Amino acid sequence: MSLSLPGGPVAHSKMAVGAPSASALQRTRRPMVTGTSVLGIKYAGGVMLASDTLCSYGSMAKFKDARRITAIGGRESFDATSGAPLPPSHPTLLGGGGEYSDYQAIVDMLRSDATAEYCADDGHFQSPEETWSYLRAVMYQRRNKMNPLWNDLIVAGCDPTTKVPFLGSVDKIGTAYTDDVMATGFGSYIAVPIMRERFRADMEEGEARALLEDCMRVLFYRDCRALNRIVIAKATADGGCLVSEPYELETSWDAKSFVSDKAGLGTDGGW
């Protein structure tokens, strides 16, 4: 007498070989390696972004040199005297918070599109606003497929025709808007009020950078997923673009709220 599952051994064998696995179709249900806030602000003659270089694995500060601002595309340019190629003018700056691998996939996608435009050699390239509109459609389509790209993105640059600075945001479900100041992650709660209070349309580049550094410093104090090692990037109306190397902000932990006795327990302001 042999033992078998209901339906006999042949039916069971067919089910094991031919039936699709329950895990064959998978979706990213939550981000794993994540970056936090990206800040953006317009100033007289350009637009500027800032982010830190930390990516956390859950609650562990694991990767401390993750660049989350990238310059993409732009119009090819050459030196007027020697004819040597120069860095592209009017590129698009893309900053991203959230799942870092998804951000890398978006950057690769946009670079592939920029390469295709370059190979077409028709003189056209995507402006920052066109890139922002394209990403809105991409993020919304992925959300409708129940397989979102887990990022909040900031797109910045200057229009090559009008020279007007552009700053727009897209989140993982395709919600998009433009503004003079914006932030992703925890920065939308802490940094945006500071930037709105101090923003002026005629701000100089140095004032905009100082404001972003102040906001990144506050985020380092208050956001446990933030780091004081940051990157600043700018795009100017004349087509210039610069993404800085990472550098560390000076910080101070002497504030009264950081060192005062808590609840009479003889402890400082930390946990």
Tell me which residue of 51, 87, 48, 40 sits closest to 233, measured CA to CA. Answer: 48
* CB hemisphere CA count around 31 (13 angstroms): 21
Q: How far are the Cα atoms of 32, 39, 129, 141, 161 from residue 149, in angstroms, in the given order? A: 12, 20, 20, 10, 31
Cβ 224 vs Cβ 52: under 8 Å: no
- Residues annotated as catalytic are 28
The DSSP result for 163-232, as a single string, is: --EEEEEE-TT--EEE-SEEE-TTHHHHHHHHHHHH--TT--HHHHHHHHHHHHHHHHHH-TT--SEEEE
Rounded Cα distance between 59 and 252, Å, is: 24
